[in-house]
Amino acid sequence: MAFAELLDQVGSLGRFQALQTAALLVPLMWIIGQNLLENFSAAVPAHRCWVPLLDNSSAQASAPGALGPEALLAVSIPPGPNHGPHRCRRFRHPQWQLLEPNATAANWSEAATEPCTDGWVYDHSTFTSTIVSKWDLVCDSNALRPMTQSIFLAGILVGAVICGPVSDRFGRRPVLTWCYLQIAVFGTATAFAPNLPTYCLFRFLAGMTIAGISMSSSTLMMEWTSAQAQTLMMTLNTLGFSVGMVLLAGVAYGVRNWVLLQLVFSVPFFLMFVYSWWLAESARWLITVGRLEQGLRELQMVAAVNGKKAVRDTLTMEVLLSATQKELRVRQTPASLSTLLCTRILGLRTFVTSLCWFAFGFIFFGLTLDLQALHSDTFLLQALLGLLDIPARIATMMLLNRLGRRPIQVASLLLSGLSILANMLVPHEMPFLRAVLAMLGVWCVVSSFTCTTIYSGELFPTPLRMTAVGLGHMVNRGGAILGPLVRLLDVYHPSLPLLLYGAVPVLSGLAALLLPETQGLPLPDTLQDVQNQAVKKAMHHTREPSVLKSTQF
């Protein structure tokens, strides 16, 4: 296509692409920190009821004899389900009889207890402060903790709905610049929220920018590189998230206060907002929407940065008009959701890619969102999650270049679902095998996400690309919200969550068989380009085999 030829002339993988990609990857590494921040900022520390006998110096002085803290704890707090001090109940009055040598459970089982009416005492050995200890999100209020995460994910969903069409209407860079400013302002404000409702509001507003930053960054990378380099660009894009998960674990290990942690992952976006003004707008998008003069300036700038000064001097408006006359003659596709859903070819692609986006959010966030529930070192688990993510994405890039998009999309989803379903057949007495199958399922679904990110950008024309990707992100976040809720179904049957986690990727993988292969094809700029590709594919499959005729003399 014409723009692909222009891009090759000014440089499709040179110094400009390296600088712009680096500038876009840094924010992506910090974005994942906002995504998974509440694994640490909303961690639940060990806690017990506040009681005067233990926590009031004047009350301690009235205690008989020289009793130590363990004895005072025994007479003040009943044992909990885990045989430690109960986290949500306390004795109405000290049970001194429990200190007698022959005391048994019967000595206190009938004793009157009450809720923690005076508050709680928290263990600050791991986290000096979290939103749980700040606003007492424990016991009867423990449901408020996952609610804050759901509100943040809802913000991402709303942002995906808004940012996709807005980016197709006003451009990639303006949306990116605005999102940097919005997350910087409201992410910083979150650290100083006076109460939980205000905290949730600020997190919602900050979450609205996540999809905009992710989509605009990936689209700018893709639209400024050749078809051969798009897999590399999208893999680097997704690797930014992997590195970000490791970065989050390291920063959270050193910063144990939720306020400081929130600021560390919010304030740097002010700097990113400043330098985003120097990022280049997508010339491909500018040309397809008719803003030729600005598109020409961007192409000339890229040629200069890539050291192609001769090309820059010869690249004029006449050359641009001549090279893009086909695109300019074709009526451009209106950037609307109805076009995606109502056009036969695009409607099928939208439905299938949405299933793939949903499968990733549903499985990944359903299995890995609450690391503390795994009863292990949260910092180590977070770091391992990122470290294992890196080889998965690199291997996916290599396979995409060799085997194509559709085979990898189908295989990764099917293997992910089958690995999870296989866990239903493994007894709990074999924890190692269950862990291996679970890790294989996560590894495969991460590979499917890398493929989906690349595949979605290549299936849709330029004026509708961000709208389609935005819809995918919206569906992805819908899956992320529903994924953790599926675990509640284990009260009906222990295998029901695994059945759903496994069935969704299997069905999505089978549906991906309906997608066309896009490896090596240039990005479509118009709906006509998409239709032409479909026609060429149909003609290729229906072409009659050649017949060799021989004539005998």
> How many degrees, rounded to 5, is the angle at CA 174 between CA 170 and CA 178?
125
What's the number of CA atoms in the CB half-sphere (13 Å) around residue 132?
25
pLDDT of residue 552: 45
In angstroms, rounded to a whole number, what is the distance separating the alpha carbons of residues 214 and 34? 12
Q: Give whole-number Cα distances, 99 to 37, 95, 102, 494, in Å.
A: 44, 8, 8, 42
DSSP state of 290: T
Nearest to 449 by CA among 362, 523, 383, 510: 362
Q: What is the DSSP string of 346-369?
A: HHHHHHHHHHHHHHHHHHHHHHHS
Judge contact between 282 and 172, C-beta under 8 A. Answer: yes
Residue 79 phi, psi dihedral angles, 5° rounding = -65, 145
Please name the amino acid found at residue 49.
Answer: C
Residue-level pLDDT, tens digit, the chain, 553 residues:
467 778 888 888 888 888 998 999 999 989 888 888 888 888 888 888 888 777 666 555 555 555 677 777 777 777 777 667 888 888 777 777 666 666 655 555 555 778 888 888 888 888 888 898 899 888 888 778 878 887 888 888 888 888 878 888 888 899 999 999 999 999 999 999 999 999 999 999 999 998 889 888 888 888 888 777 777 787 787 788 888 888 888 898 889 899 999 999 999 999 999 999 999 898 888 887 878 888 888 888 988 888 888 888 788 888 777 766 655 554 454 556 677 777 888 888 999 999 999 998 888 877 765 555 444 566 776 777 777 778 877 888 788 878 888 999 999 999 999 988 888 887 767 766 766 777 777 778 888 888 888 888 888 887 788 778 878 878 888 888 887 777 767 768 877 888 888 899 999 999 999 998 888 787 787 777 777 776 666 565 554 444 444 444 3
CA neighbor of 469 nearest in space, from 257, 296, 221? 221
Predicted pLDDT at 138: 85
SS (H, E, C) 456-491: HHHHCCHHHHHHHHHHHHHHHHHHHHHHHHHHHHHH
Q: Where in the chain is the domain with CATH 1.20.1250.20?
A: 2-43+138-536
Four-residue CA torsion sign, 345, 348, 351, 353 = negative
The Cα 98–Cα 71 span in angstroms is 9
pLDDT of residue 233: 80
Among 48, 117, 164, CA closest to 474: 164
Q: How far apart are CA 180 and CA 174, in angstroms?
A: 10
Specify whether the CB–CB gap between 404 and 451 falls below 8 A: no
Q: How far is CA 201 from the centre of its chain?
A: 20
Can you tell me the distance from the alpha carbon of 455 to that of 403, in angstroms, rounded to the nearest whole number? 13
Write the CB contacts of 278 (distance below 8 Å, at least 6 apart in sequence).
Answer: none
How far is it, in rounded angstroms, from Cα 403 to Cα 519?
9
Measure CA of the first residue to CA of the last residue in the chain; give whole Å. Answer: 49
H or E element in which residue 56 lies: none
91 backbone dihedrals φ, ψ, rounded to 5°: -70, 140
Cα gap 158→412, rounded to integer Å? 28
Report the interhelical angle of 344-368 vs 527-542 (nearest 10°): 100
Give pLDDT, residue 409: 92
Q: Determine the pLDDT at residue 544.
A: 45
Percentages (nearest 5) of helix, strand, coil residues in the chain: 75, 5, 25
Q: How far is CA 433 from the centre of its chain?
A: 27
Q: Which residues of 346-360 are buried (b: 16+ CB within 10 A; e: fewer)?
A: beebbebbbbbbbbb
Q: How large is the C-alpha radius of gyration of the chain?
A: 28
By residue count, the chain amounts to: 553
Cβ(460)–Cβ(468) below 8 Å: yes
The helix (H) or strand (E) run that includes residue 113 is: strand 113-115
Say what the pLDDT of residue 549 is.
Answer: 44
How many Cβ atoms sit within 10 Å of the Cβ of residue 449?
25
User: What residue spans of 56-171 are helical by DSSP H?
Assistant: 57-61, 69-76, 106-109, 131-135, 144-170
* d(C-alpha 183, C-alpha 61), whole Å: 51
The one-letter amino acid at 513: L
Residue 212, token pair as written in the block? 């905009």
Q: Assign 3-class secondary structure to 209-231.
A: HHHHHHHHHHHHHHHCCCHHHHH
Would you tell me which CATH number, out of the four given (1.10.800.10, 1.20.1250.20, 2.40.420.20, 3.60.15.10), belongs to the domain 2-43+138-536? 1.20.1250.20
Predicted confidence at residue 451, as pLDDT, reads: 87
Contact 94, 124 (CB under 8 A): no
